[in-house]
Amino acid sequence: MTPVLQPADIFLTQGPGLVSRLIRFFFRGIGERRARVNHVGVVVQEGFRETAVVVEALSRVREHKLWDQYGPEQKDLVAVYRALNLTEEERATVVAAARKDVHRKYGYGAVAAHLLDGCP
- Residue 40 in any domain: the answer is yes
- Residues 30 and 120: their CA atoms lie apart, in Å, by 11
The pLDDT tens digits for 23-45 are: 888 777 778 888 889 999 999 99
Number of domains in the chain: 1
Are 27 and 39 a contacting pair, CB within 8 Å?
A: no
d(CA 1, CA 59): 33
Specify if 43 maps to a domain: yes
Task: Evaluate whether residue 120 is within a structural domain.
Answer: no
Owning domain of residue 66? 10-115
How, if at all, do strands 10-14 and 77-81 pair? antiparallel
In a domain, residue 1? The reply is no
Tell me if 5 is assigned to some domain.
no
Q: What is the pLDDT of residues 93-109, one digit of tens each?
A: 999 999 998 988 866 56
